[in-house]
Structure 1
Amino acid sequence: MQQLFIATRTAVADAHELINRFGEDAGFEAALRAERSRHADNVLGYCHWRQIERLIVSLADTDICGTVH
């Protein structure tokens, strides 16, 4: 997996909220929110929720990615 760019602290907070609220289905909820934003022609919302979806997948990954210090 490629390294993930996290644009804001809000992205991490939103991912944390979805994980706490939806558990293993958090990624699906983020994807659903992205699609809702897309259908509402909300490009910024779509990009935000897609980033959250990728962040949730990355947090669930047990493989080590990148440099370990």
Structure 2
Amino acid sequence: MNTSPLTIADTAVYVTATSLIADHGEYACVEAAARADASQRIGNVVEFSHWRQVERAVQILQLEDIIGDLH
């Protein structure tokens, strides 16, 4: 069981995630994962990390139920 908090701590990640959702709908998470994989293949660790964070943010934003505290 994953007990880590669901957070989006970076505004840039939030903005990118909402943009991907607007552009790709339910496939936004797949798009973020593909971009992370592409960054990893070329060895760009910074972009890889960014896109993985975006992927997690998309998952959080697409949840239908509220989990945990909202701040």
TM-score (norm 1): 0.86
Amino acid in the other structure paired with 2:15:
A
Q: Which moved more, 1:41-50 or 1:3-12?
A: 3-12
- Whether 1:24 and 2:17 are equivalent positions in the alignment is no
**Offset, 1:7:** 3.6
Amino acid in the other structure paired with 1:40:
I
Q: What stretches of structure 1 of length at least 5 have no aligned partner?
A: none
- Whether 1:42 and 2:63 are equivalent positions in the alignment is no
Amino acid in the other structure paired with 1:25:
Y
Percent identity over the alignment? 41
Write out the 4+ residue segments of structure 1 that deviate beyond 3 Å after TM superposition.
none
